[in-house]
Chains A and B, each alone.
Chain A
Amino acid sequence: MPEGDIIFERLRQATDAERGRLARVLGIDPSPDREANVFKLSREYRASAGHTLRNLFRKEHELPYRDILLDAVSAAAKHAEWKPPVVKDTAEDEWLEDYIFEAYCFAAAKKNADLSSVEIAKAQESAERLLVADTRSAQTPLAAALVGALGAGAVGQAVGGFATVGVVAAGALPALVIGSTAALVFNPLFLPSSTKVLNATLGLIAVRKRREFEAELSQLEVAS
């Protein structure tokens, strides 16, 4: 694989802090040089992800990101206690990332609330729609929103009705609260062989999500 795929793109787009985090997750010392660090992280990430035997016959940056994502989709589904989804060849890499992100958010949300079987089914169905072109455009991801909805109770009184004086608050579960449950995925007891890769994959997805949210917030500032 050329040295300019999504993995390289994300590693270059990541902040120093995000690259530092990835280095810690992958268990390597970051290089002081940014570009050298990008190569080092890509090498270690792919080496950790691929099958040991096959990796012997691969160049160090050859393992396709999609192969890693397909494994991560299965792992994320298992973590969310969903059945593994059908992933068509036509599904784009970013769609797979969206599914993983949803599954990850759902798993965290589920630990904090008693979700009914209907809610669980809806969240799974919602995440699966992200993998299909025809349905993803009209799709509102549920699990990420669920994280917010769970917190809405705590700040429910503050939601809405305050715009007149400029005080608006939306529901949210504090990061500190969900941190403990979201961290289950970081627990070595969970999928011991793939935890490192899944964490690193989530790190790369987080880079994209963070950049997308930043872009959205920038648009808001321009609009105002």
Chain B
Amino acid sequence: MKWNEYGEWLVPHEKWLSGLNDGTLKMNLPANRVIDAANGRFVGALVPGDGLVDELARLPLHPQPAMQVVEASKVLTQLKPALQALQLTSSIGALASVANLGVSCAGFALVLNRLSKIDGKLDDMLGKLDVLQQSVEQLHIKSDALSFARIRSAADSLDRSMAAEQESVQQDLARRARDLFQESRHYYLGLWNKTQPWTSARIPVRTALEMESRFVACGIGEIQAEFVLGDKGSIRHAIKSVASDLTKHFALDAPAALRARSDAAARSEGDEYAGFIVSMTTVSAEFALAAGAANHNSMRVSQFDQDVDMLEDLRLTPRQLVQVTRAADGPHLFLLRSQAA
């Protein structure tokens, strides 16, 4: 790619560079466009340069905080009308929303890689903690069904389906991934409801958070698989189902959870209360982190619904969007030009 000397944040597309160099085209910076030197007519909109993409890449994933960062940034505030004028998206908020989906589709391997760092912990706990073991038995679940290996297997199928060239293969693999994710998600939901980990003093907060995280990972995997399969109704249904479960069953009222654990320990006959008092500082800190994570997860999943709407704005099929985001070379944010622009 040739060095584009005509702008720092918004730049003329490469295809206009020769015209700009030979003087047949001119920059109209106030209007953020390239114009015909002879008659001043519009030729092409400016596009984000590398610097702008880097700047936007630092935006938070959520629309609201992203908007706040944009408002607080001198450079980005100045560019907001320009970004809108370019019809990249209808708003910065939507930009963040698209970014969210971009990460969801392209970054699942990354998600799993990070999840793998703690994969063994919950698997170990399932075998060690009586309260979890008993619940698994009562739910008639084989412990393998809750293993991290199962999630990894589903993720492999999903990843392969995205890479598949033949549509039939792609669909078969996506279906397998969806089924595995969906089944695991329901197992985790059953175990969660049985054990109520946020308030159970016998389950460490981090184990509760890992259970919640695995549910979310399965939920996102299921949504992504539905996304690849391409039926918008099914995608929306999966999003609604996961988001609803998160709100209904996994929401964390941290102060109430801390009190419930304290009361349970106080009522115990043994030494549990002594242990609770000593670990209260840590448990509280863990709850603070868990509340942030649970809140983030819930928001993230509920925003997927907006992403489905974005498909229509961008006039892309789910498959195309997946391909675009997978092909994009960038950290976390993708600027997607509407096909209508």
Partner-B contacts on A (CB < 8 A): 15-18, 20-21, 104-105, 108-109, 141, 144-145, 147-148, 151, 155, 157-158, 161-180, 182-183, 185-186, 202, 206, 209-210, 213-218, 220-221, 224
Contacts and interface: CB of A to CB of B under 8 A. Distances in A.
Q: Is the interface of B mostly helix, strand, loop or mixed?
A: helix
B267 A175 contact: no
Contact of A214 (B121, B258, B272): B258
Interface string B82-125: 00000000000000000000010001001100110110010000
B285 A166 contact: no
A174 B288 contact: no
A146 B240 CA distance: 42
A176 B272 contact: yes
24 contacts: A15-B259, A17-B267, A144-B282, A145-B281, A147-B279, A148-B282, A155-B206, A158-B117, A161-B117, A164-B103, A166-B294, A167-B213, A173-B282, A175-B276, A180-B271, A182-B277, A183-B271, A186-B274, A210-B280, A214-B255, A214-B259, A216-B284, A217-B255, A217-B288
B295 A167 contact: no
A180 to B, nearest CB: 6
Contact of B278 (A21, A161, A182, A214): A182
A172 B216 contact: no
Contacts of B283: 172, 175
A178 B118 contact: no
Contact of B291 (A18, A165, A174, A217): A217
A205 B119 CA distance: 37
Contact of A105 (B278, B284, B297): B278
Interface of B: 103, 107, 110-111, 114-115, 117-118, 121, 201-202, 204-206, 209-210, 213, 216-217, 253-255, 258-259, 262-267, 270-297, 300
B279 A172 contact: yes
A221 B206 contact: no
Contacts of A186: 271, 274
B206 A210 contact: no
Given A210-B258, A217-B255, A169 B281 contact: no
Given A104-B278, A216-B284, A165 B259 contact: no
B282 A170 contact: yes
Nearest to B272: A179
A168 B290 contact: yes
Contacts of A165: 111, 114-115, 213, 216-217
Contacts of B264: 17
A185 B210 CA distance: 33
A216 B210 contact: no
Nearest to A165: B111
